[in-house]
Amino acid sequence: MIDQEKSQPPIMQGRVIYVLALTTLIQTLYPITENASTAVLVGFQMLYFLLIVAGILVVRASPRNFWILVALGLLWIVAGVYYALNQTEPVAQLAAYVVIALYQAMVVQVLLRYIFTTRRVSRDVIFAACAIYLLIGAVFVGVFGALDIVTVQQTGGHAFRDSLVAATDALPWQHIVYYSYVTLTTMGYGDVLPVTAWARSLASLEAIIGVLYLTVVVARLVGLYASHEAEHR
């Protein structure tokens, strides 16, 4: 039986599921932004805005994390709108990728700390564990996107090659989302390939993190559950 953690920070109770739900929604609905109008892109940014709010609510009990996420959230809104209005500008693309990666990495850090300090398995712990896994993939979307833009500026070539995109064309961010989760889950279809040393290094890192995360977190949750059961025998 999964019990609600009575000793956890009150703000965590019932809030983490919003982070999980919004992250899942964003990573599922992103195809609607391909070849979409500016209005659709701006509307899609509203999902990100809601995710910002959900993340801030989760960390509200920690003043330091709260203000860091507020600052990153505001930067995210500015960068997201700027990108929606200037989709082909490298500066707008780079800003969006970097800020999104930083914000989501901060949420991952907060949720990881929650999982590894709690003493009992609860619904929120399960939701947090699932949200972290999805957010890891989202963080690497920003990392891969920023790397590709920097690579183009420095060498004139791209860091990734997609069988559906001409070698001279930039990889759409929607394709990077797909590539990140294929890499995280180690499916490796081979339709999108890292072609530079840094791209290959980061892709390997994401795959390793994905495998280790599942191993360590599952062990943690099983251990907590077994410990709780032993206390009630």
The domain spans of the chain are 10-231
Per-residue model confidence as pLDDT tens digits over 82-126: 887 887 888 988 998 999 899 999 999 989 988 888 888 888 888
Residues whose CB is less than 8 angstroms from the CB of residue 136 and which lie 6 or more positions away in sequence, other chains included = 108, 184, 206, 209, 210, 213
pLDDT at 229: 55
The candidate with the shortest Cα–Cα distance to 29, out of 55, 49, 47, is 47
Lowest mean pLDDT among 6-10, 34-38, 131-135, 197-201: 6-10
Please give the full DSSP string across the chain, using - where no structure is assigned. Answer: -PPP-TTS-GGGTTTHHHHHHHHHHHHHHGGGGTT--HHHHHHHHHHHHHHHHHHHHHTTT-HHHHHHHHHHHHHHHHHHHHHHH-TT-HHHHHHHHHHHHHHHHHHHHHHHHHHHH-SS--HHHHHHHHHHHHHHHHHHHHHHHHHHHHHHHHHSS-SEEETTS-TTSPPPHHHHHHHHHHHHTT---SSEEE-SHHHHHHHHHHHHHHHHHHHHHHHHHHHHHHHHHHHT-
pTM equals 0.87
> Residue 138 above 70 pLDDT?
yes
What is the average pLDDT across 39-67?
83
pLDDT at 104: 92
What is the average pLDDT across 135-153?
95
**pLDDT grade for 159, boundaries at 50, 70 and 90:** very high
